[in-house]
Chains A and B, each alone.
Chain A
Amino acid sequence: MTTTEAPAAGAGRRPAAPGLRRRRPRFNSAYLFIAPSVILIAIFIAEPIAQSGWMSLHNWTIGEATHKFVGFANYTALYHDSRFWNALRVTVLYTVVVSVGQVLLGLAVASRLRKTTWYSALLRSAYFFPYIASLVVVGIIWKFLLDPQVGLVNAWLSDVGISAPDWLQSTALALPTVIAIGIWKNVGFAMIVLLASMQQVPTFLYEAATLDGANTWQRFRHVTLPALRPALLFTSIIATITGLQLFDLVFAMTSGGPIFHTESVVMYLYEKGFVEFQMGYASAIAWVLFLIILAISAVQLRVARYRDVD
């Protein structure tokens, strides 16, 4: 790279001070630094986003020579597709209950384990451990824990005299069971984020509150909670976004059954796109999912900002 010549264009734009030669590199090496990421993002994220939108307007079946342009027909078909609405209902129900559950339980556990001692460090690790395991491993383990013949859960329940149901084969219980596992898996995530935020609350605030006679609940309500608002918002947004993308857990635990009672939107997308190869329809599902995520995140941010005003 040479830095000796000042390009004419640059000199023309801004008149250089007399007697002072502006030295400008001919080529800014910053572009080399961003090139790999920018190229990869362009090819594998940006262009596919546009292409996916385009495909959703076509009857696009892989292997066919031509793809017929159908306008918004995929979207209107989706609107009349009861299997899609069912998947959406399952996904939203899962997302709402798991988000609220993991944030509330994570908050409760974090406030109990706020002080760092050897036993609270140990307990924190225990709560965090399921979060690092893959959803697939978690799904497989729980599928067998809940097995009526060999599972630990029903064996323990029958030991105390409760005849336990077949959790994942029951149309009434399958979704609540999957939701419970979702909360179990993610409590540690909420706990860690909230703990990190709690530990940044200066201790003198608690001391001052104690001096003023505030009890434990009042200290929590008036010192901890306000300080946690950004972390709470972050955890619930992340929980919502990951919840709406539910796939691995149901795939491993139930494959969407019994009779679609746990089929999520992304499972349906996978089914349409990569089993039936109706890629136009699958793309339409993806775009609807995207718009839902966008809308819900916007609402969450909006609500948080309203609260910040007062």
Chain B
Amino acid sequence: MTGVPSGGAAPLRLPRRAGRLLGRIAAVLSWVVVIAGALAMLVPFLWMLGVAFRTSTDLYAAPARILPAQWTLHGVQAVVGQLPFARLIVNTFVFAGGATILMLLFDSMTAFALARLRFPGRNVVFVLILATLMVPFQVTIVPVFLTLFHLGWLNSYQGLIIPRATSALGIFMLRQFFMRLPSELDDAARIDGAGNFTVYWRIILPNAKPALASLFIIQFAALWNDFLWPLVISNNVNMQTLPAALTIFSSQSGIDHAALMAGAAISLTPLAIAFLLLQRFFVQGVAASGIK
């Protein structure tokens, strides 16, 4: 970095008092803008909650209100009546949870081998895995759909989960993390007679808990929110996940606003709760993928 220009050399220098006043005003204004922006981030979700619990006559009479004049559960009842809602929630949990757990297991095993073990072909494997990161998911979806069609795995949990049970990005992130763990950890265990599996299970995984937690959360959230994949793989409403079912529900004509917003609110709730409780891991997960 080349030096910071000294204050005297700065071309525009207002008299000190005027400058300080302007700075104050700018600071206050910027806070007003930032707070207004934060409200703009939250108001849509508050409105969603409000609509979910109000009657449609109330909504049509006063659309400018955020909260209902009278609270009603009819929206929740309607969406649960019109969609197999319990089934959709279970499907989404099984899909996002199952794929994430398998992915953490497989990715951490591969990352461990790539970061800590020597074997012929290691670099080739790593480069090939990295190369698949470049290819957008849409390139593979047509052939994978055909493969699952021939296997008879469309509209099934294994069809939803197995193809998503590993991720090149996860392998890459965990490998980076494992490489930063001191190698003395492994050496000490190996002197005590530990094999590869013991080092992986007893040494590396316990030391990688924060990275695994972050990866779990961002991956679970990504799959919970995933749309195109479950939309293509399941067209039967009993095997769909929440985003796909909600979208199809929302495109029906004569839609019941309260029912739709209740559905949206329910599908958002697990992630919202996880976010409130585990925000640190969300932030670390997203930030860790950004700075190496």
Contacts and interface: CB of A to CB of B under 8 A. Distances in A.
Nearest to B31: A112
B41 A188 contact: yes
Contacts, number: 298
A33 B112 contact: yes
B142 A55 contact: yes
Contacts of B44: 130, 138, 141-142, 145, 152
B203 interface: no
A155 B113 CA distance: 59
Interface residues of A, number: 107
B117 A255 contact: no
Interface string A146-158: 0001111011100
B268 to A, nearest CB: 5
Interface residues of B, number: 102
Interface in B83-111: 105-107, 109-110
Contacts of A97: none
A6 interface: no
A144 B51 contact: yes
Interface string A197-231: 10010000000110011111011001100100011
A28 B275 CA distance: 42
B140 A48 contact: yes
Interface stretch (B72-80, B179-187, B206-214, B278-286): B278-286
18 contacts: A29-B197, A33-B110, A34-B125, A36-B105, A41-B128, A44-B147, A48-B139, A48-B142, A109-B34, A123-B35, A127-B37, A132-B221, A133-B45, A150-B60, A193-B286, A196-B287, A270-B228, A293-B136
Closest CB pairs A-B (n = 3):
A213-B7, A134-B225, A196-B287
Interface of A: 1, 28-31, 33-34, 36-38, 40-41, 43-49, 51-52, 55, 62, 105, 109, 112-113, 123, 125-145, 149-152, 154-156, 159, 184, 187-189, 192-193, 195-197, 200, 208-209, 212-216, 218-219, 222-223, 226, 230-231, 234-235, 238, 241, 244-245, 247-248, 251-252, 255, 266, 269-270, 273-274, 279, 282-283, 286-287, 289-290, 293-294, 297
